[in-house]
Structure 1
Amino acid sequence: MDNRRKRKLTFATIGLIFLLSGVEYAVILPTIWRYLQTLNAEPYFLGLTLSAFSLSGLLSGPLFGHLSDRTQTTKKIILFANFFEIIGNLMYFMGYSKWLLLSSRLVAGIGTGAGSSIFGFLTRSTASEDRATVFAAVMACRQAGLLIGPAFNIFLRLCNFHLGSFVVNKYTAPGLFMCLLWILLQLVVVFMYWDLPYLERRKTKDSVIHKEEENTHASVEDEEEGDEEVKPLMTSQELVGSYGSVVAPDPCRKHSRVSSIHNSPISSPVTSQSHEHVTSLKSSSLYREFLREEVVVLLAAQFITLFNQTALETMVTPLTQKYFNFGELENSVMYCLGGVVVIAGFLFVRWLSKHVAERVVLAIGLTICNISCIWCLIFLAKPLGGFSWQLTEFIIGVFLQVLGLPFVAVAQVSLFSKITSEKTQGFSQGVRRSVGGLATILGPLWAGGLTDNMYVMMGVMVVLLVMLTIMLAFSYNRLVEPAEDQIDISVNGG
C-alpha cells in the first residue's frame, strides 16, 4: 500500500476516534443522572461522576503525550488508551453500585489522554499552512458525534432484556453499546492506522537548544585540547540521540572521533559537567516554553472559552425548564440544532483558515464570544418581555455562543502547535488539553452553584472574556509562527 493511501486511512481513523468520543458523551450524559438515582446516589454524585472523567483525562494527557514524544509513535499508545475506554464502559454497564459507576468514568477518562498524542502526531505530519484545516476537520468529527449520539439513544432506551446475570436497560445499554464500539475501533486502529513519517520541519526552538548544546560541547572540547581547532563532530539531528563526544589526538589525523559519552565507561569531570549542563538546559527550556507570553495567552484562551462553554451548558437546561417548560424532547432538539451550528462553524473556519491567519480567526471568535456573553448577561439573567421575546433572546444568546466556539477552538490549537516545540509536541498538547480539562471540571461547578444568581455567574464569565481579549490585543504581534531569522538571532545572542 502506498503512503498516500496509508495517510488517508490514518486520518480517517483519527476522525473516527474523535467521532466516538463525541458519541460517548452524547449517549451517556442524558441518562447518567437517573442511572445514579437507581443506585441510591446523592445529588452531588452526578458532579463527581462527570468530573471524574475529566480529571483522569487531565492527568493522563501529558503522560501519553510525553510518551509519544519519546517513542515517536502513537499507534500503540492509542491502542493502550482505548483499552481503558473498553474497560470503563464495561464497568458502566455492570453498574452494581454508585461507586462502580464513578470508577467507570474515572477509568474511561484515562483513554481520552490519547488525544494529546494524536494532536502531536498531526502537528508533526502536516504542513504548517494546512494545520488549521486539519484540526478543524478533526474537531468537527467530535461535534458530529455529539450530534448523532442522541439518535442512538432512541434505540438504546428500548432495550429491556438480560445478558446472563446482567440487566440491559436504557441505563446500562449505553455502557455496553460504547464498549462494543471501542472494541471495533481497536480493530480499525490495528488495520487502518500507521505511524506516518514526519514531515521535515522548519527550524524551531528545538534547533536553538541543539545549537546551544553544540556550543557547550565545543567549549568543553576546547578546554580539553587547549587552543587546538576542533571540528564539529555531530549534526544537530545526531545530538537528539546523544550528547557530546570525547576527542583525542591521532597519529595520522589531527582530530578523530573516539567515542561517545554514552559509550564511555568513565567520563571526565569536564564532560560530566557538560552533560549535566545540557540536561539542565533541556529542563529549563521546558519551563520557559510554557511561560512565554504567547503560550500563556493561548492556554488562557483554552481555559476561559471551555470554562464559559461548560458553564453555559450546565445553565441551559435549568433555564429552559424555568422559563419555557422544556422537556427531554425540546432539549434534545435544541442540542441537535446547536450541534448543526457548531459543525457548520467548523466547516466555515476550515475554509477561512486558508485565507487569513489564525490570530485573525481567534480575534473574530473572541469578538463573537464577548457579544454572546454580554447578551446573555443582559437578556438571560433576567429575561424581558413575553414568552416569544424571551425565547428569541435565548435563541440569539445560545446561537452566538456556539457560533464563536469553532473560531476560538481551531485558532488556538493550531497556533499553539506552531509556537511550541515540535520535538515535545505530544507533551505540549497534553498540557493544553489538561488546562481544558480543568476548565470542564470548574465550569459546571461554578454554574451549578449559581443558577439562582445569574448576574454573578454571567458577570464573572464576561470579566474573564474581556481579560482574555485584552491579553490578545497586547500579544497580537507575537501570535505568529517563529521565523528562521528570529531563531538565528536568538541563537547568536542578538
Structure 2
Amino acid sequence: MDYQRKKKLTFSTIGLIFLFSGVEYAVILPTIWRYLQTLEAAPYFLGLAMSAFSLSGLLSGPLFGYWSDRTRTTKKIILLCNLFEIIGNFMYFMGYSKWLLLSSRLLAGIGTGAGSSIFGFLTRSTTSADRTTVFAAVMACRQAGLLVGPALNIFLRLCDFHIGPFIVNKYTAPGLFMFLLWILLQLAVVFMYWDLPPMERRISNPDEEENVPGPSEEEVEEEVMPLMTSQELVGSYGSVTTSSMCKGHRSAEPNDSPVESPVTLPTHELPTPFRISITCQEFLREEVIVLLAAQFITLFNQTALEILVTPLTQKYFNFKELENSVMYCLGGVVVIVGFLLVHWLSRHFTERVVLAIGLTICNISCIWCLIFLTNPLGSFSWQLTEFIIGVFLQTLGLPFVAVAQVSLFSKVTSESTQGFSQGVRRSVGGLATILGPLWGGGLTENMYIMVGAMMALLILLTIMLAFSYKRLVEPTVEHVEHVESSQPSTSGLST
C-alpha cells in the first residue's frame, strides 16, 4: 500500500478516535445525573464521577506521551487505551452500585491518555503552516461526536430489555453502546492505522517509502523550509548544541579538521539530567505559561458551567432526558459552526489573533452569566432566552481558544518531545476538568461566588495575554539563536 493511502486511512482513524470520545461524553452526560439518583448517590457524586474521568486522564496523558516520544510509535498506545475504554464502558453498563459507576469512569478516563500521543504524532507529521488546520479538523471530529451523541441518546432512552442478568434501559444503554463502538474502533486501529515516519525523516530519506511520487520543486520548498527553521535543528527549544560532548565521546582522528561543526542532539537523546533541565526550562517560558493558563481557565469555566446545566434546567424548566439531549445537540451545532469559523480565520489570521477573539467571546459570556444566570428573573420565556444566550456564547467561544492554544503550543515547544509536552498540556486541562465540576457542583446554591470566580480567572488570563501578546508566535531562526546563546555550555558533558 502506498504512503498517501496509508496517511489517509491513519488520519481517518484518528478522526474516528476523537469522534467516539465526543460521542461517549455526550451520551453519558445528559443521563448520568439521574442514573446516580437511581443508585441512591448523594448530589456531590455527580461532580465526583465527572472528575474521576479527568483524573485518570491527567495521570495517564504524560506517561503515554513520554512513551510515544521514546519509541516514536503510537499504535500500541492507542490499542492499550482503547482496551481501558472498552472495560470502563462495560462496567458503566453493569451499574450495580454508585461505586462501580465511579470506578468505570476512572478506568475509561485512562483511555483518553492516547490523545497526548496522537497530538505528538500529528505535530511530527504536519508542516507548521498546516498544523492549525489539521488540529482544527481533528478537534472538530470530537465536537461532531458531541453533536451526534445527544441525537443518539434520543433513541437510546427508548431501550427497555434484558441481556442475561443485565438490565438495558435509558441509563445503562449508553455504556453498552460505547462498549460496542470502542470494540469496532479497536478493529479499525488494527487494520487502518500506521505509525507514519516523521516529516524530516521522509524528506531526508525519500527512497524509504515505496510507491511515493517524487515531490515537485514547490512541494520541496514548502516542506523543507519549516524543517530548516525547526527548533530541533538549530539547537534550542528541546535540543542542545553539543560539539564538545561529541568530541569527547569519539576517538581523535589524525585527519580531523581543527574547525568543528556543532552537532545537535534531540532532547530524547541527551543524558537524563540535561533532558530534565531543558524540559523544565521549556515549561517556565512566558509564552508556554500563558498557553497553559488558557488551557486551564477555559476548561475550568466550561466544565463548571456544564455541571450546572442539568440541575438548572431541571430546577427552572423541568427538563428531562429528551430535552437535555436536544439542548446538547443544539450546543454541538454551535460548536461545529465555531470550528468552521476557526478553520476559515486560521487561513487569514495568526493563532494569537484567533485566541484573542475567543477570549473576548468568553469574557462576554461570563459577564452575561454573572448578570442573568445567577438569579434568573422574569417570565418562563425570558428566563429560557437568558439561559440560551449564555450557553450559546460559551459554546461559541470555546473552539477559538481551544484550537489556537493547541496549535501555538505545538509551535513554541520542542518537536522532539511533543508527546510529553502535549501530555502535560492535556494534564493541565485534566486538572481543570477535575476542579471545574467540583467547583460548579459544590456551589449550585451560591451562583454569585461560582461565576464571580470564573470571571476573575478570565480577567487574569486577558491581562496575561495582553502582556505576552508579542511572544505568542512561532520562534524564528533569529529568536532561537538568541535563546541558544543564552543557554549554558554543554562542554562539561565531555568525558
The normalised TM-score by structure 1 is: 0.86
Instruction: Give the conservation status (yes or no) of the 8 Å contact 2:243–2:261.
Output: no
Instruction: Give the conservation status (yes or no) of the 8 Å contact 2:292–2:428.
Output: yes
Residues 325 and 242 (structure 1 numbering): CA distance in 2 closer, same or farther, change over 3 Å? closer
Equivalent residue, structure 1, for 2:301: 308
SS at match of 1:481: coil
Equivalent residue, structure 1, for 2:207: none
Equivalent residue, structure 1, for 2:117: 117
Instruction: Give the conservation status (yes or no) of the 8 Å contact 1:22–1:146.
Output: yes
Residue 415, structure 1, aligned to residue 408, structure 2 = yes
Counterpart selection for 1:476 from 469, 473, 483: 469
Equivalent residue, structure 1, for 2:358: 365
Moved more, 106-115 or 211-220: 211-220
CA–CA distance in structure 2, aligned partners of residues 384 and 98 of structure 1: 36
* Aligned pairs for 1:57-456 within 5 A: 57-200=57-200, 201-207=227-233, 208=235, 212-217=240-245, 220=248, 232=260, 235-236=263-264, 278-456=271-449
Deviation string, structure 1 residues 391-437 (Cα, Å, up to 9, x no partner): 33322222111111110000000000000010000001011111111
CA–CA distance in structure 2, aligned partners of residues 132 and 212 of structure 1: 27
Deviation string, structure 1 residues 4-62 (Cα, Å, up to 9, x no partner): 12111111111110110011111222232333334343333332222111110110000
Q: Which amino acid aligns with 1:85?
A: E
CA–CA distance in structure 2, aligned partners of residues 240 and 407 of structure 1: 31
Residues 324 and 180 (structure 1 numbering): CA distance in 2 closer, same or farther, change over 3 Å? closer
Instruction: Give the conservation status (yes or no) of the 8 Å contact 1:211–1:491.
Output: no
Instruction: Give the conservation status (yes or no) of the 8 Å contact 1:92–1:104.
Output: yes
CA–CA distance in structure 1, aligned partners of residues 181 and 294 of structure 2: 33
Equivalent residue, structure 1, for 2:36: 36
Larger gyration radius, structure 1 or structure 2: 1
CA–CA distance in structure 2, aligned partners of residues 193 and 348 of structure 1: 29
CA–CA distance in structure 2, aligned partners of residues 399 and 42 of structure 1: 30
Instruction: Give the conservation status (yes or no) of the 8 Å contact 1:218–1:232.
Output: no
Residue 45, structure 1, aligned to residue 48, structure 2 = no
CA–CA distance in structure 2, aligned partners of residues 345 and 437 of structure 1: 22
Residues 236 and 389 (structure 1 numbering): CA distance in 2 closer, same or farther, change over 3 Å? same
Residue 486, structure 1, aligned to residue 475, structure 2 = no
CA–CA distance in structure 1, aligned partners of residues 441 and 268 of structure 2: 50
Residues 137 and 242 (structure 1 numbering): CA distance in 2 closer, same or farther, change over 3 Å? closer
SS at match of 2:439: helix
CA–CA distance in structure 1, aligned partners of residues 268 and 93 of structure 2: 46
CA–CA distance in structure 2, aligned partners of residues 484 and 234 of structure 1: 16
Gaps of 5+ in 2: 201-226, 488-495
CA–CA distance in structure 2, aligned partners of residues 366 and 109 of structure 1: 28
When the two structures are aligned, how many residues end up with a matched partner?
Answer: 458
Residue 461, structure 1, aligned to residue 454, structure 2 = yes
CA–CA distance in structure 2, aligned partners of residues 125 and 150 of structure 1: 33
Q: Which amino acid aligns with 1:336?
A: C
CA–CA distance in structure 2, aligned partners of residues 147 and 82 of structure 1: 22
CA–CA distance in structure 2, aligned partners of residues 464 and 34 of structure 1: 31
Residues 468 and 241 (structure 1 numbering): CA distance in 2 closer, same or farther, change over 3 Å? closer
SS at match of 2:197: coil
Equivalent residue, structure 2, for 1:9: 9
CA–CA distance in structure 2, aligned partners of residues 335 and 188 of structure 1: 28
Q: CA RMSD in A?
A: 2.5
CA–CA distance in structure 1, aligned partners of residues 41 and 483 of structure 2: 58
Residues 424 and 148 (structure 1 numbering): CA distance in 2 closer, same or farther, change over 3 Å? same
Q: Which amino acid aligns with 1:104?
A: S
Residue 229 of structure 1: how far off its partner (Å): 6.1
Deviation string, structure 1 residues 54-95 (Cα, Å, up to 9, x no partner): 110110000000000001011111011101111111222223
CA–CA distance in structure 2, aligned partners of residues 12 and 240 of structure 1: 30
Deviation string, structure 1 residues 95-139 (Cα, Å, up to 9, x no partner): 333222221111111000000001111111111111111111111
Gaps of 5+ in 1: 244-277
Residue 154 of structure 1: how far off its partner (Å): 2.9
Moved more, 170-179 or 406-415: 170-179
Residue 147 of structure 1: how far off its partner (Å): 1.2
Instruction: Give the conservation status (yes or no) of the 8 Å contact 2:365–2:394.
Output: yes
Instruction: Give the conservation status (yes or no) of the 8 Å contact 2:240–2:267.
Output: no
Instruction: Give the conservation status (yes or no) of the 8 Å contact 1:36–1:98.
Output: yes
Percent of aligned positions that are identical: 75
Equivalent residue, structure 2, for 1:248: none
Residues 385 and 348 (structure 1 numbering): CA distance in 2 closer, same or farther, change over 3 Å? same
Q: Which amino acid aligns with 1:295?
A: V
Residues 24 and 235 (structure 1 numbering): CA distance in 2 closer, same or farther, change over 3 Å? same
Residues 442 and 480 (structure 1 numbering): CA distance in 2 closer, same or farther, change over 3 Å? same
Residues 88 and 354 (structure 1 numbering): CA distance in 2 closer, same or farther, change over 3 Å? same
Residues 48 and 215 (structure 1 numbering): CA distance in 2 closer, same or farther, change over 3 Å? same
Residue 224 of structure 1: how far off its partner (Å): 9.1
Moved more, 94-103 or 298-307: 94-103
Deviation string, structure 1 residues 221-270 (Cα, Å, up to 9, x no partner): 79999xx9656599536x77866xxxxxxxxxxxxxxxxxxxxxxxxxxx
Residues 151 and 57 (structure 1 numbering): CA distance in 2 closer, same or farther, change over 3 Å? same
SS at match of 2:436: helix
Deviation string, structure 1 residues 343-371 (Cα, Å, up to 9, x no partner): 01101101110111000000000011111
Instruction: Give the conservation status (yes or no) of the 8 Å contact 1:221–1:230.
Output: no
SS at match of 1:480: coil
CA–CA distance in structure 2, aligned partners of residues 132 and 242 of structure 1: 28
Deviation string, structure 1 residues 309-355 (Cα, Å, up to 9, x no partner): 11111223333333334343333222221110100110110111011
Equivalent residue, structure 1, for 2:211: none
SS at match of 2:167: strand
The normalised TM-score by structure 2 is: 0.86
